[in-house]
């Protein structure tokens, strides 16, 4: 059974400890520092909902955040991460402690001062990551009730991105950039086809997910097979959608700085055509 020895108590909820191997870790948990002394041993299993930060740079960043957070707020944020871990039921990337803590402290302070921030890709986030968004709604509710603030839906979207980042082991900036790119592509589609997409519709969700998977394939350099003869057929039958799909692909190439295979234009044209037909 893993045992840690208390080296320094930072506050009621965070302490520095060493393992049997002498390696320093940051232990995070509600009330974990309360009543403990230097040198005390902590058996990992005896502390319910304990988080261990092992990465050196994550530890340093987390320690730098602590002086700016009051005990009550930190306790609620730790509770929020517990909630996420409980709902996700799998290991989260430990950066969530730094990323989400930093984000929430900043968000709560902004709201208290009456400075809301608009989330320009909220609807795309909701369509892309429905499970993460659902968990983020629970987190928002917990924060709002516990700290008597009113985080708006836009913040729920940002929290969902942090959750997705921790599940998928991706940098939250990449997740954010991809959501931003999708929002820009959707805007282009609406302008070029002169339509206003119903952001709650199943077709919209399908389109957003298709674009997301395209982006992920491009980032991984993965090739999709091109259906035989269908490209020339689509080009002749649906020139508007075909040309638009190439415009979208050029934007993806420029933004992601990766080549996009021709076959992607075929699949994208099919999605655009379905939307155009339904909107008529």
For the domain made up of 177-279, the CATH class stated in words is mainly alpha
Where along the chain do the CATH 1.10.1790.10 domains lie?
57-170, 177-279
In the predicted model, what is the mean pLDDT of the chain?
87
d(CA 91, CA 117): 30
For the domain made up of 1-54, the CATH class stated in words is mainly beta
User: What pTM, to 2 d.p., does this model score?
Assistant: 0.78
What is the per-residue pLDDT across 162-208, written as a single tens digit (0 to 9) for each? 999 999 888 888 888 888 999 999 999 999 999 998 887 878 888 88
Q: In what order do the strands lie in the sheet with 24-28?
A: 41-43, 3-11, 14-18, 24-28, 51-53
Kindly report the CATH number that applies to the domain delimited by 57-170: 1.10.1790.10
What is the per-residue pLDDT across 42-63, written as a single tens digit (0 to 9) for each? 877 667 678 888 888 888 888 8
Where along the chain do the CATH 2.30.24.10 domains lie?
1-54
Q: What is the pLDDT of residue 274?
A: 84
């Amino acid at each position: 059974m893993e045992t840690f020895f208390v080296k320094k108590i930072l506050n009621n909820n965070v302490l520095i400890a060493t393992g049997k191997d002498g390696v320093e870790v940051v232990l995070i948990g509600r009330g974990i520092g309360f009543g403990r002394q230097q040198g005390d041993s902590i058996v990992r299993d005896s502390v319910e909902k304990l988080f261990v930060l092992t990465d050196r740079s994550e530890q340093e960043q987390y320690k730098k955040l602590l002086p700016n957070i009051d005990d009550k707020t930190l306790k609620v944020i730790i509770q929020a991460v517990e909630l996420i871990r409980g709902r996700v039921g799998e290991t989260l990337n430990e950066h969530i402690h730094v990323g989400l803590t930093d984000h929430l402290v900043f968000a709560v302070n902004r709201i208290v001062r009456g400075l809301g921030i608009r989330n320009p890709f909220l609807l795309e986030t909701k369509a892309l990551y429905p499970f993460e968004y659902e968990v983020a709604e629970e987190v928002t509710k917990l924060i709002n009730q516990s700290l008597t603030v009113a985080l708006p839906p836009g913040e729920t979207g940002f929290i969902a991105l942090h959750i997705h980042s921790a599940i998928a082991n991706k940098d939250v900036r990449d997740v954010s950039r991809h959501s931003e790119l999708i929002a820009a592509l959707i805007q282009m589609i609406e302008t070029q086809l002169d339509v206003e997409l119903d952001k709650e519709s199943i077709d919209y969700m399908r389109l957003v997910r298709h674009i997301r998977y395209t982006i992920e394939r491009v980032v991984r350099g993965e090739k999709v097979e091109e259906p035989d003869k269908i490209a020339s057929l689509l080009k002749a039958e649906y020139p508007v959608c075909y040309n638009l799909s190439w415009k979208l692909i050029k934007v993806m190439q420029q933004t992601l700085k990766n080549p996009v295979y021709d076959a992607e234009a075929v699949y994208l044209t099919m999605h655009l055509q379905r939307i155009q037909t339904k909107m008529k």
